[in-house]
Structure 1
């Protein structure tokens, strides 16, 4: 018995589609360089490409103003880097933002992180009254951050 195992989906798939992943590779390389400058391992970070290009880097240490909260760096292509703390529900709340270009050098990011983690209080562009915030989901922080 000879059966035709061809399935017809009713449309032609264009095999000349170019899946250009250069943006993904570029962002992943940039985040790896930042992670390296911070002295962290690669498994402390992730890059997301949808819905917007963004990154998350778990940090060692705590912010002096929020000693009981985990700290992370979040990045997106529009606004650059921000430092966020996890609230009791595991949601990220922005605590400080690195101004300037969205893609500063990895060394500049590392210096900023070191300065923020070592200062007595988060002063510049900081959320001083953490208890008054309504936490936002990580996806929202990543998209805005």
Structure 2
């Protein structure tokens, strides 16, 4: 017997859903898909480089980070190449609509930065629930296989 839903199928579902979701969010925040990266290892995570500068940090590049534990975070690149510095978390929902993420970025940009220290929310749930939430954003990637 071979199970119908294998690890490969789950990875494909996560990849197609998360990349489609990132495409929608990146468009909402005004950057192209070339600004996005995805890591499907547990916990799944993503990065979107932003075309945003903050008055409190004028020489720093900004980015959005997403992971399946904390959802979206607004972060600042460091000059040393170390991990990004999280300035704020969106919270409330692991997979919010792209317009809500756009509003999050706009609010931080308007304020010139975050006003309070970031507290990471625990939005972690079941991987199956995450796949269900991402399904409506999924992209179709053809399987390539060779016959005979």
TM-score over 0.5 for the pair? yes
Question: What is the CA–CA distance in structure 2 between the aligned matches of 1:121 and 1:40, rounded to whole Å?
Answer: 19
Shift of residue 126 of structure 1?
Answer: 4.3
Q: Check the 8 A contact 2:43/2:69 in 1, yes or no.
A: no
Structure with more contact order per residue of length (Cα contacts < 8 Å, sep ≥ 6):
2
- 2:115 maps to 123
Q: Which segments of 5 or more consecutive residues in structure 1 lack a partner in the other structure? A: 1-13, 128-145
* CA gap 1:89/1:49 in 2 versus in 1, 3 angstroms: same
Shift of residue 124 of structure 1?
Answer: 4.0
Q: 2:96 matched to 1:104?
A: yes
Aligned length: 113
- 1:50 maps to 41
Shift of residue 61 of structure 1?
Answer: 1.6
SS at match of 2:22: helix
Question: What is the CA–CA distance in structure 1 between the aligned matches of 2:57 and 2:98, rounded to whole Å?
Answer: 25
Shift of residue 113 of structure 1?
Answer: 0.4
Q: Check the 8 A contact 2:65/2:73 in 1, yes or no.
A: yes
Q: Check the 8 A contact 2:65/2:72 in 1, yes or no.
A: yes
Matches for 1:1-145 after TM superposition, within 5 Å? 18=6, 19-20=8-9, 21-91=12-82, 92-126=84-118
Larger radius of gyration, structure 1 or 2?
A: 1
Q: Check the 8 A contact 1:52/1:76 in 2, yes or no.
A: yes
Return the TM-score normalized by structure 2. 0.69
Q: Check the 8 A contact 1:62/1:71 in 2, yes or no.
A: yes
